[in-house]
Amino acid sequence: MNTLIIINDPPYGTERLYNGLRLAHTLIKRENEVTVFLMGDAVAGAKLGQKTPDGFYNTERMVRRVTLKGHVLLCGTCMDARGITDEEVVDGAERSTMDALAEATEQADKVLIF
């Protein structure tokens, strides 16, 4: 099954990004094809150099895990609005566009929005 997960919320403050990435990991383990599209404040979840307290989740590491067997696309307009450059994001996460999101939506069997 091909699943697209769209996430809009910031990496910390709510748990939508955390839970969306947890679901992505679980679907990948179950051998689903997964694409995660981060937009709005969620693009900051792929930023390098996050330092979180011991025992607290870290979205940089979670995004990196998804890139190992899935796809992580980042809204380029959202990155620009937040001053995040391509060099500042996790390897494997790709700057993307609304056209790519439209294509991923058309190809997905399921679309989930967090």
Quote the distance between the C-alpha of residue 40 and its chain's center. Answer: 11
**According to the model, what pLDDT value does residue 8 have?**
98
Mind listing the pLDDT tens digit for each residue in 10-50? 999 999 999 999 999 999 999 999 999 999 999 999 999 99
**According to the model, what pLDDT value does residue 37 have?**
99
Q: Answer yes or no: are the C-beta atoms of 48 and 40 closer than 8 Å.
A: no
Q: List the alpha helices (DSSP H) in 37-114.
A: 59-69, 76-81, 98-107
Q: How many CA atoms lie within 13 A of 8 on its CB side?
A: 3
Q: Which domains does the chain have, with CATH numbers?
A: 2-113 (3.40.1260.10)
CB atoms within 10 A of CB 18: 19
Cα gap 84→58, rounded to integer Å: 18
